[in-house]
């Protein structure tokens, strides 16, 4: 697709999108822009603000129309798209003529009239020159959920469950997320002279694949954009990762099988597809699954298979991958990603006399239930009671402070964030749990409490120099030989991605100032898992170690029955970890590189991507 542009990272994706918009404004100073909210365009707005400040990009004659707004929604509420647009863009540029559909409460006749008026304003402005879009995991554009008619116009709509679940963290709980919204229609979007859809992050990969390579259908509203005469799709590598070219490169017409990694992945996928162990694969099987070119390029298929088997087997070897007496730094975005994803391997690392530090990126306080804090305060949990006692106001007793917290909880409005006292108590809950877990794996905990985590209150939600400074200090203090990072970016609030960005910025400075080079490991398991063939090292373990791992995950008591389950996956985190680790081991068993096991004595595997080169 010539209108598909894949960027190595979010930053370059946003810079390019902003440059595209800036060019339009320079060519047509009174351009009419359709704008979007959500996490996706934040970087584009940052870059537009920079272009305005540093390169005099002039918005004085520009008119903008936003796609949508929740309903009901006060414009000043922290979650409102009015507020979002002011904070991310309009407070920082010279654009006066901007519009966002109103979410203020009114009767349905009035809403209908306002929607007609919104369409009229767009038409009177001359129609949209360019519509900027994100994509929801339902495939929605604007808030046009699956089934939205092609000719739909601005109207009041119902939001899908998935869309509301994805917004739950912003609203401090699913129940606070409005069920309705006002959105431009598909027809309004399709009438724009150009559309620019942006998607980033692994959590968008599946829907991007459906929208760009599946059927063109109103069941996947974004797929309809393929019929737009001038649609551009800007993706980062992660969002593009399920497109055939990236997900199954061995099926590409120009696949070059001199590359062992490609041979390995091709054979693993063939083996899974035909349901045979590697050493049972025949030339015929490979032809059947579209790997005729592989057979053709290999002088001996048998030798090629044996080589891949040997390679894979060496990837199950602890002795090759787990060092001794080294400094290991595991960066866990939330307090529990570490144990869910690498609990068994951290345990093994400690057994080999490594010096293991687990650094927790954010406090995770948003995911602690109010009632759990109240229960702990009432029973005077030592850690929490100590904090309350140390922070008593003058003349206040413990009971007074407890009553004050309770009063705040009962009086606060839906969606209002925690006050400082409550936030700190919740932080302490999670720090206590993580400290217990670390003790069992012999690791030293470090709580970074990165400030960006709290910035959703001001909707700034960007990694700042303060975050980077904390991370840099961590690297200087721990001088790691291996850094374990999350390779999964699908957490509901984008926290994993922001922790990663913080790390990348800090690591760059650390290495520039002469810090020791380190090997990177990436892990998954809390929200998703590597597919067969994607791992570089499979850390194999038995049932007793899985029991220890589950015990450690269960130390995170506040995360039982999680507040932000993220997907529709109803399983507890320890169940997800157990099932995923079992499934990974089972895949290796089916490939024939790991011996079979009895059902009462299963084998498990944690998968890692190891990059020594970066």
Instruction: Note the residues at the interface with ligand F6R (CB under 6 A).
Output: 36-40, 67-68, 134-136, 140-143
Spatial CA neighbour of 166 closest among 494, 416, 496: 494
145 is catalytic: yes
Query: Rounded distance, CA 90 to CA 2, Å?
Result: 33
The residue (of 162 and 357) whose beta carbon lies closer to ligand F6R is 162
CA pair distance 291, 285, nearest whole angstrom: 8
> Please, which residue, 190 or 519, has the CB nearer to ligand F6R?
190
- Structure letter (DSSP) for residue 537: E
Sign of CA dihedral 236, 237, 241, 247: positive
Edge-to-edge strand list for the sheet holding 155-158: 68-71, 180-183, 155-158
CB nearer to ligand F6R: pick between 38 and 78:
38
Residue closest to 71 by CA, chosen among 183, 181, 184: 181
How far is the C-alpha of 96 from the C-alpha of 206, rounded, in Å? 38
Output the six-digit token pair for 561: 């029955």
How far apart are CB 66 and ligand F6R at their closest, in Å? 7
Dihedral class, residue 579 (left if φ above 0, else alpha if ψ from -120 to 50, else beta): alpha
Q: What is the DSSP string of 293-316?
A: HHHHH-S-HHHHHHHHHHHHHHTT
Nearer to ligand F6R, 84 or 250 (CB): 84
Token look-up 């400082």 returns 420
How near is the Cβ of 363 to ligand F6R at its closest, in Å? 22
CB of 183 to ligand F6R, least distance (A): 7
Residue carrying the six token digits 């359709």: 34
Q: How far is the CB of 36 from ligand F6R (least distance, A)?
A: 4
DSSP label at 580? H
67 or 192: CB nearest ligand F6R: 67
Three-state DSSP class for residue 49? helix
Which listed residue (69, 145, 488, 497) is catalytic?
145
Q: DSSP letters along 68-104, please? A: EEEES--TTSTT-HHHHHIIIIITTS---EEE----S
Q: What is the 3-state secondary structure (H, E, C) of 400-422?
A: HHHHHHHHHHHHCCCCCCCCHHH
Burial of 503 (0-12, 13-18, 19+ CB in 10 A): buried
In angstroms, give the least distance from the CB of 204 to ligand F6R: 7
- Of all residues in this chain, which one has the CB nearest to ligand F6R in the complex? 134
Query: Could you give phi then psi for residue 192, rounded to 5 degrees?
Result: -65, 145
Question: Rounded to whole angstroms, how far apart are CA atoms 90 and 93?
Answer: 5
Output phi, psi for 379, to 5 deg: -90, 10
Q: How do beta strands 68-71 and 63-66 pair?
A: unpaired
For residue 289, the SS3 value is coil
Whole-number Å distance between alpha carbons of 128 and 62: 11
Residue 135 or 607 with smaller CB distance to ligand F6R? 135
The CB density around residue 215, as the number of other CB atoms within 10 Å, is 8
The single residue listed with the structure tokens 């057979």 is 295
Minimum distance from CB of 37 to ligand F6R (Å)?
A: 4
CB of 146 to ligand F6R, least distance (A): 13
Among residues 184 and 507, whose Cβ is nearest to ligand F6R?
Answer: 184
- Taking the complex as a whole, the smallest distance from the CB of residue 40 to ligand F6R amounts, in Å, to 3
Residue number, 35 or 267, with CB nearest to ligand F6R: 35
**What does the DSSP 8-state code read for residue 531?**
P
Question: Looking at beta carbons only, is 143 or 360 nearer to ligand F6R?
Answer: 143
Identify which of 267, 309, 274, 307 has the alpha carbon closest to the alpha carbon of residue 291: 267
37 or 490: CB nearest ligand F6R: 37
Least Å distance, CB 465 to ligand F6R, is 24
Q: On the CB side of 254, how many CA atoms lie within 13 Å of its CA?
A: 2
If the CB atoms of residues 177 and 278 are measured against ligand F6R, the closer one turns out to be 177
Q: Output the CA–CA distances (angstroms, integers) from residue 180 to 156, 170, 183, 288, in the order listed.
A: 7, 16, 10, 48
State the CB neighbour count (10 A cutoff) for residue 446: 20
Which are the catalytic amino acids?
Answer: 145
């Amino acid at each position: 697709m010539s209108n598909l542009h894949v960027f190595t990272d979010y930053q370059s994706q946003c810079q390019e999108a902003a440059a595209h918009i800036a060019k339009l404004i320079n060519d047509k100073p009174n351009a009419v822009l359709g704008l979007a909210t959500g996490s996706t365009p934040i970087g584009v707005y940052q870059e537009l603000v920079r272009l305005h400040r540093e390169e005099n990009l002039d918005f004085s004659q520009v008119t903008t129309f936003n796609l949508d707004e929740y309903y009901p929604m006060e414009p000043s509420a922290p979650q409102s798209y009015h507020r979002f647009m002011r904070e991310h863009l309009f407070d920082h540029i010279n654009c006066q003529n901007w519009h966002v559909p109103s979410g203020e409460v009114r009767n349905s006749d009035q809403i209908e009239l306002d929607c007609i008026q919104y369409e009229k304003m767009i038409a009177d402005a001359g129609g949209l020159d360019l519509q900027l879009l994100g994509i929801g995991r339902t495939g929605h554009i604007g808030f046009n959920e699956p089934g939205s008619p092609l000719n739909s116009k601005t109207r009041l709509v119902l939001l899908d469950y998935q869309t509301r679940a994805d917004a739950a963290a912003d609203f401090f709980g699913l129940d606070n997320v409005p069920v309705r919204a006002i959105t431009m229609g598909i027809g309004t979007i399709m009438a724009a002279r150009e559309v620019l859809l942006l998607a980033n992050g692994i959590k968008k990969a599946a829907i991007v694949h459906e929208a760009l390579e599946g059927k063109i259908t109103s069941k996947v509203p974004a797929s309809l954009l393929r019929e737009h005469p001038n649609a551009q799709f800007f993706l980062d590598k992660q969002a593009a990762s399920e497109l055939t070219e990236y997900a199954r490169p061995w099926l590409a017409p120009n696949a070059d099988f001199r590359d062992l990694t490609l041979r390995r992945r091709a054979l693993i996928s063939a083996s899974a597809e035909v349901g045979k162990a590697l050493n049972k694969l025949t030339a015929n099987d490979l032809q059947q699954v579209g790997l005729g070119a592989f057979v053709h390029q290999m002088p001996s298929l048998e030798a090629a298979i044996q080589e891949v088997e040997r390679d894979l087997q060496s990837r199950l070897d602890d002795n090759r991958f787990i060092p001794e007496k080294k400094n290991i730094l595991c960066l866990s975005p939330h307090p529990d990603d570490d144990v869910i994803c690498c609990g068994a391997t951290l345990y093994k690392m400690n057994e080999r006399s490594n010096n293991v530090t687990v650094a927790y990126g954010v406090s995770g306080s948003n995911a602690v239930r109010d009632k759990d804090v109240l229960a702990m305060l009432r029973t005077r949990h030592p850690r929490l009671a100590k904090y309350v006692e140390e922070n008593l106001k003058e003349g206040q007793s413990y009971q007074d402070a407890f009553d004050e917290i309770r009063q705040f909880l009962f009086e606060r409005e839906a969606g209002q964030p925690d006050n400082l006292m409550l936030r700190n108590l919740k932080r302490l809950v999670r720090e206590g749990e993580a400290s217990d877990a670390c003790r069992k794996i012999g690791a030293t905990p470090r709580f970074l409490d990165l400030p960006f985590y709290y910035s959703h209150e001001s909707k700034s939600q960007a990694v700042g120099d303060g975050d980077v400074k904390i991370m840099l200090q961590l690297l200087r203090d721990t001088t790691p030989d291996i850094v374990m990072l999350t390779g999964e970016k699908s957490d509901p609030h984008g926290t994993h991605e922001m922790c990663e960005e913080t790390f990348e910025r800090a690591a760059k400075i650390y290495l520039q100032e002469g810090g020791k080079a380190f090997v990177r490991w990436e892990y998954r398991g809390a929200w998703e898992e590597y597919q067969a063939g994607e791992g570089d090292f499979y850390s194999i373990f038995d049932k007793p170690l899985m029991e220890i791992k589950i015990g450690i995950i269960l130390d995170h008591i506040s995360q039982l029955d999680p507040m932000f389950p993220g997907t529709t996956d109803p399983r507890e985190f320890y169940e997800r970890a157990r099932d995923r680790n079992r499934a990974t081991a089972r895949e290796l068993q089916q490939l024939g590189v790991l011996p079979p096991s009895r059902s009462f004595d299963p084998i498990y595997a944690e998968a890692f991507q190891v990059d020594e080169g970066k």
